[in-house]
Structure 1
Amino acid sequence: MTETTGGTGATERVADVLLLFTDGPRTLGVSRVSRELGLSKAVVHRILQSLTARGLIAYDPAGREYRLGPAAAALGSRALRDSDLRTAALPFLAELRDRLHETVTISAKVYGGRVYLDQVVGTHEITMSVELGRRFPLHAGSSGKCMLAHSDPDEVDRILGGELAALTAATPTDPDALRAELARIRETGYAASAGERQGDAGSVAVPVFGPGGLVGAVSVCGPRFRVTDEFVAATAPQLIDTADRITARLGGSAPARAVPTSTGRTS
């Protein structure tokens, strides 16, 4: 990231600093933020001081680091409450969870990745839950991949041409293989994952569309030993139906897709 001048550049720097707190550790220091964003420490310190004064960031004097503050929590809570995608999806998530007994989630695409908006946790004794509000990259996991498959081609090129971080040993990091998988996802309408974002988890996901195009994804996820190829094959048609119903409620339309005939799964 290049430091720029003027109001727009300053606004972008503030936004990038805030968004950095949705990606990784609970607290960040000035040096870490400076290194991650390519900004001088003086600029980062001024931004953090301004955000702290407004409650968006809080300072931890013991560790001499910063974390998200109460005003950020209030913004997040309001955003969730007012999310059309979350509101439209929740009844369908519960219905699908009751049929499959696994955790069902709804994610939204955001700048630089995607976030889980909500979940309906499975009913098994051993089940899976996800971290709401944390930003995850689009190349890892079924929800991210199905969004990436339906993203603007320029965005796809930018992401595949950049660093594809390995979150686990199974995270896809080969751009050519990923490009081929994205084509399969567009054809079948769903994506599957086995340990790509979280090593012991598996999932299957389908994109959701609003009037302006792609808005997010609905997924079914669970422990990897239960999310088998057979489970994915049986679940994909039900998940496609659920995603299409959410899309219809939002006033969007899903692209044409082939009838699912294979899992499209990667290990």
Structure 2
Amino acid sequence: MTETTGGTGATERVADVLLLFTDGPPTLGVSRVSRDLGLSKAVVHRILQSLTARGLIAYDPASREYRLGPAAAALGSRALRDSDLRTAALPFLAELRDRLHETVTISAKVHGGRVYLDQVVGTHEITMSVELGRRFPLHAGSSGKCMLAHCAPDEVDRLLDGELVALTPSTPTDPAALRAELVRIRERGYAASAGERQGDAGSVAVPVFGPGGLVGAVSVCGPRFRVTDDFVAVTAPRLIETADRITARLGGTAPPRTVPTSTERTS
């Protein structure tokens, strides 16, 4: 990232600084922000001071680092509460959880990745839960991959031409293999993963569409030992039905797909 001038450039820098706090450690120093965004320390310091004055960022004198502030929490809570995608999905998430007994989630596509908006936790004694509001990359995990499969070609190219960070030993990082998998995801209508974003978790996900196109994904996730090929085979058709109902409630249209007949997964 290079520093630019003018109102638009300044706005983008402020937004990039805020978004950096959604990806990494809970606290960041001026040097880390400067290095990660390619901005001068003086520019970063001014932005952080301005955000701190408005409560979006809080400064810790002991560590001399910054964390998200109470105003950012209020914005996030309001965004979740007012999300059309979350509102449309929640009744269907609970219904699917009651049928499958595993955790069901709804994610939204955001700039540079996706975030979990909400979840209905499974009923098993050992179950999975996800971190709401944190941005995750699109190449790791079923929710991200099913979104990536329906992104514009230029967005797919940008992501696959960049660094594909390995979150676990099972995270897919081969661009050619990912391109081939995206084709299969579009054809069958769902994505599956085993240990790609979190080593001990498995999941199945289907994209959700609004009037303007892709908006997010609904997924079923559980401990990796329970998300077997047989589980995927049973879950995928039910998940597709749920995603289509959410899409219909939002006024969107799902693209054509084949009826899932394969339980092929990435390991």
Short-chain TM bin: over 0.9
Match of 1:158 in 2: 158
Q: For 1:187 and 1:176, locate their aligned partners in 2 and report how far apart those are by CA, in whole Å.
A: 17
- Report how many residues are paired: 267
> Post-superposition shift, 1:219?
0.1
Q: For 1:136 and 1:264, locate their aligned partners in 2 and report how far apart those are by CA, in whole Å.
A: 23
Name the SS of the counterpart of 1:199 in structure 2.
coil
Q: Is the 8 A contact 1:191 1:264 kept in 2?
A: no
> Post-superposition shift, 1:4?
0.1
Match of 1:131 in 2: 131
Gaps of 5+ in 2: none
- Deviation sequence 1:37-75 (CA, Å, 0-9, x none): 000111000000000000000001111100000000000
Q: For 1:180 and 1:263, locate their aligned partners in 2 and report how far apart those are by CA, in whole Å.
A: 16
Q: For 2:243 and 2:118, locate their aligned partners in 1 and report how far apart those are by CA, in whole Å.
A: 15
Q: Is the 8 A contact 1:170 1:194 kept in 2?
A: yes
> Post-superposition shift, 1:138?
0.2
Q: For 2:32 and 2:174, locate their aligned partners in 1 and report how far apart those are by CA, in whole Å.
A: 28
TM-score (norm 2): 1.00
Q: For 1:26 and 1:152, locate their aligned partners in 2 and report how far apart those are by CA, in whole Å.
A: 32
> Post-superposition shift, 1:24?
1.1
Name the SS of the counterpart of 1:71 in structure 2.
helix
Name the SS of the counterpart of 2:218 in structure 1.
strand
Q: Is the 8 A contact 1:146 1:190 kept in 2?
A: yes
Listed as ranges, the matches of 1:32-43 within 5 Å are 32-43=32-43
TM-score (norm 1): 1.00
Q: Is the 8 A contact 1:185 1:264 kept in 2?
A: no
- Deviation sequence 1:8-57 (CA, Å, 0-9, x none): 00000000000000001110111110111000111000000000000000
> Aligned pair 1:251/2:237, yes or no?
no
Match of 1:68 in 2: 68
Q: Is the 8 A contact 1:168 1:198 kept in 2?
A: yes
Name the SS of the counterpart of 1:220 in structure 2.
strand
Identity across matched positions, percent:
92
Name the SS of the counterpart of 1:219 in structure 2.
strand
- Deviation sequence 1:127-178 (CA, Å, 0-9, x none): 0000000000000000000000000000000000000000000000000000
Q: For 1:79 and 1:99, locate their aligned partners in 2 and report how far apart those are by CA, in whole Å.
A: 29
Match of 1:191 in 2: 191
> Post-superposition shift, 1:263?
1.6
Q: For 2:192 and 2:228, locate their aligned partners in 1 and report how far apart those are by CA, in whole Å.
A: 10
Name the SS of the counterpart of 1:231 in structure 2.
helix
> Post-superposition shift, 1:264?
3.3
Match of 1:235 in 2: 235
Q: For 1:137 and 1:264, locate their aligned partners in 2 and report how far apart those are by CA, in whole Å.
A: 22
Q: For 2:191 and 2:263, locate their aligned partners in 1 and report how far apart those are by CA, in whole Å.
A: 8
Q: For 2:39 and 2:9, locate their aligned partners in 1 and report how far apart those are by CA, in whole Å.
A: 12
> Post-superposition shift, 1:123?
0.3
Q: After TM superposition, where is structure 1 displaced by more than 3 Å over at least 4 residues in a row?
A: none
Match of 2:213 in 1: 213
Q: For 2:172 and 2:263, locate their aligned partners in 1 and report how far apart those are by CA, in whole Å.
A: 16
Q: Is the 8 A contact 1:201 1:221 kept in 2?
A: yes
